Structure 1
Amino acid sequence: MTTTNVSALQSVATFCGNCNCGCPQLFVDPAAPVDRRIVLTDDFGQRVQMSADQFASLIEEARAGKLDGVATA
């Protein structure tokens, strides 16, 4: 895994934002290869990198309700 300085990424969204716990965040890394340009970070310091197409597929699945049960699992 490549370590990327989060300050060099373009922030898109923060998921929570009601605290100071290091909330999960969504970034775009314009300097990354196309297949790793979308970056999701969590409050444990981990990250997932994926292509914009993979992220769009994830969003489509969420909109279709396929992830609705995940939050209660």
Structure 2
Amino acid sequence: MIHQDTTGLQHVATFCGQCNCGCPELYLDPAADDDRRVVITDDFGQRIRMSLGQLADLVADARNGVLDEVLAAG
């Protein structure tokens, strides 16, 4: 697990959280431009940045079952 500097980020959610492995986390970066406001971190030290609109699309797709096939195959 790589420690990430999340100074200045607003924590929104931790995905999993049942272990101490550096679970993916969702943050908002109030200092970032609108198209990079959302930050998702992983336990490998990587970050994904996206807009709130892109996050809304991702959440809507998940709610509509777009990811169900991927999870069933896993």
Q: Above 0.5 in TM-score? A: yes
Unaligned runs of 5+ in 2: none
The equivalent residue for 1:15 is 15
Output the TM-score relative to the length of structure 1: 0.88
The equivalent residue for 2:43 is 43
| Large movers: runs of 4+ above 6 Å | none
Q: How big is the shift at 1:49? A: 0.2
Paired residues for 1:24-63 under 5 Å = 24-63=24-63
Unaligned runs of 5+ in 1: none
- Cα distance in 2, alignment partners of residues 70 and 38 from structure 1: 23
Aligned identity (percent) is 59
**Matched residue pairs, number?**
70
Q: Per chain length, whose mean CA-contact separation is higher, i.e. which structure has more relative contact order (CA < 8 Å, sep 6+)? A: 2
The code of the aligned residue for 1:55 comes to L
Output the TM-score relative to the length of structure 2: 0.87
Q: What is the aligned-residue RMSD (CA, Å)?
A: 1.4
- Cα distance in 2, alignment partners of residues 19 and 13 from structure 1: 15
Q: How big is the shift at 1:17? A: 0.6
